[in-house]
Amino acid sequence: MPEQLEAIVEETVFRNEENGYSVIEVRTGRSSITAVGILPALAAGEQVILTGQYVEHPQYGKQWKVESCEICKPSTLLGIERYLGSGLIRGVGPATAKLIVQQFGKRTLDIMSETPERLTEVPGIGKKRAAQLGQAFLEQYAAREAMVFLQSYGVSPSLAVKISKRYGPQAQQKIRENPYRLIDDIEGVGFLTADRIALTLGIARDSEYRLQSGLKYVLMEAATGEGHTYLPKEMLISHAAQALRVNPGLLTHPLDALLFSRDIVSFDIDGMEAMMLSAYYYAEKETAHYLKLLLNRSKEKQDPTAEKRIRQFEQEHNIAFSENQRRAVSQALQTGLMVITGGPGTGKTTIINCILSLLKGKVLLAAPTGRAAKRMSEATGHEAKTLHRLLEFSGDEGLFQRNEENPLDCDCVIVDEMSMVDVFLMRSLLRALRSGTKLILVGDADQLPSVGAGNVLGDILKSQRVPTVRLTDIFRQAQESLIVLNAHRINHGEAPVLNQKNSDFFFERKQTADQVSETIVSLCSTRLPAFLKSEDRLRDIQVLSPQKKAGAGVHQLNQMLQAALNPPAPFKKEITYGDTIFRTGDKVMHIKNNYQLPWTMDNGEEGVGVFNGDVGFIMKVDTQDRIVTVKYDDERTVEYDYQQLEEMELAYCLSVHKSQGSEFPCVVMPVLPGPPRLCTRNLFYTALTRAKRLVVLVGREESIAAMVQNRQILRRYTTLQQRLEEE
């Protein structure tokens, strides 16, 4: 339990002005103590109440770890003089502080905040300087008061620093007027935080600000949590009323106001009234527009040499295409926009290689994630980039250097793992294609849809407007793999074949979550590395779980696997953030798009932007400056300061959703009873198709059967299909 420490600040040893992280020396009684945490700027002599607890630092010994700080006004003449003369107030040094305190005594701080013009009574201070000193004092005092004010409402110190820097001296005033402005103005502040502050401040539950913010919050949650780009009006009203705990009738006027301001757009779809945040409305509308332009411009052109060139490729590579595969290659050569879709083993990569060898002109390859791009490069022998790097992401949120005014310099773009591409990324890609550029989209329609909003590949396929080839025949080599055969069996609602001799697909029967977890740890730490003859068990073996918080879920398995695969050691430095220990050598994943985070590569290349799903390893932990250095799979190196660690989590075990676009030599998966909305057939299918050499399932056979039979696919409310179908 946190305790309180009343102390007087002696000195600031270290302070990071960007995030407020400070190391200070304080005196309590006769003892001198080191306190660390995110704090407002503090001056020597100030009296503070520090809420927190003692921790033992491996290098610096016993420290007071601060969770929140309350500043008490200096009450003694010496304390006031030390505070003013500390350098904290711009333009006031020790000599000036002494003169001011001699003039005004214990009323000094009141004079400076309420009647700073009286500073002219101090020898050597004129009107202009008095005004400047008064302004500097107010700015500093307001910033500190704002931090204390925000922390008292449960805002984290790091977020309080960000808010205080954004609003300056007016922070408290602006927040008291309308706390919901934080949602739009400050990245990292959501509706729940703003609402907690608002209700504590006494803002009414039926306030117009609150109701409008609540409606937008529900739509945003639907987009980021479930992938919806719109909600039916009745569903929006119902969910918002429940979230806000108000009568649904109170939401009519706020919704009308949002429609009038175009924050929300209304339209009819499938005979019902739909509500959509304007950003998503224009993203889907533009995506459909650009796809139609591509279709209109790209009339099929017969290539009389195509058949001959395809046969030549077959001979050179000793393969025989099926009729469907040959049609996919031929169509790619003749049309300007097409989709190639199919499950594992159906030859998508071989077809891409054939297209690359036959296409004339410059072809660019891309995929949504670093892992998928790396895999595409390895499979084709051609450089593949993430879509963000291909489009030359510049660092401003959502801004790419490649666009209508500066299109990609190429004749064709091939994008793999299209099921992962959300509507915003798709729009950005389409904006960057110049007239006449081919676009070939490759993906598995039966995998989970994108983590981001929209259902781009699914909607394109359902619209039947874009030329599409579905690959169903399994390559002869792939027929030897039970991973491939079982993936297709599961996709057709058939039970997988388990524990066939000399196969690549195994099942271990365990009944309880604890037994499953212990078995998975044993498999990953000793048994599978020996079986695979693996030299890098952290890269070669990936645990995937359908659930996050349950037994044998992502959180529990990450802690157990970290303890087994990367235990503490004297030479490994570590840092604790929340409930997670980050240690040198840990496998980690970035979990939130950060468009401003800088990275470097070994070749000297620099850039910004680290994205949801990027996986890497902790190379270094600086416990003094609290900086964690991570190297990602695509060789980018990123430094995280302490507050940015909220964007990272352990990755020994991943959720199936987070594994999309990746491929691992070996996949281990717990199979236990769970919520039907999570334990679905297409989630199971997606997990298995991440494995290249080996799959090991641990748990209950009846849970496997339940997933295979569970065809529940949560509907995504999106408009791209309908927009493409419109003439």
Query: Is pLDDT above 90 for 253?
Result: yes
* pLDDT (mean) for 460-482: 84
- pLDDT of 252: 94
Q: For a pLDDT cut of 70, what percent of the chain falls above it?
A: 95
- CA pair distance 716, 324, nearest whole angstrom: 30
Q: Which of 22-26, 269-273, 430-434, 500-504 has the highest mean pLDDT?
A: 430-434
Question: Where residue 333 falls among pLDDT bands split at 50, 70, 90?
Answer: confident
Query: Is pLDDT above 70 for 397?
Result: no
- pLDDT of 438: 92
Is the model's pTM score more than 0.85?
no
CB 698 within 8 A of CB 508: yes
Question: Where residue 148 falls among pLDDT bands split at 50, 70, 90?
Answer: low
Q: Count the Cβ atoms, other than its own, within 10 Å of residue 396.
A: 10
- pLDDT of 300: 61
> pLDDT tens digits for 492-505?
899 999 888 888 99
- Quote the tokens at residue 515: 């037994």
CB 608 within 8 A of CB 395: yes
* pLDDT (mean) for 664-682: 90
> pLDDT tens digits for 626-637?
889 999 877 899
CA–CA distance from 116 to each of 107, 120, 481 (Å)? 12, 8, 81
Question: Where residue 309 falls among pLDDT bands split at 50, 70, 90?
Answer: confident
- CA pair distance 366, 597, nearest whole angstrom: 22
Is 438 or 149 the better-scoring residue by pLDDT?
438
Reported for 319-328, long-range contacts at CB under 8 A and 24+ positions apart, including other chains, are 319/350, 319/475, 321/347, 321/354, 322/473, 324/469, 324/470, 324/471, 324/472, 324/473, 325/350, 325/351, 325/471, 325/473, 327/469, 328/469, 328/471
Query: Is pLDDT above 90 for 171?
Result: no
Query: Is pLDDT above 80 for 145?
Result: no
Query: Is pLDDT above 80 for 591?
Result: yes
- CA pair distance 2, 6, nearest whole angstrom: 13
CB 419 within 8 A of CB 447: yes
CA atoms within 13 A on the CB side of 130: 17
- Quote the tokens at residue 387: 């879509």
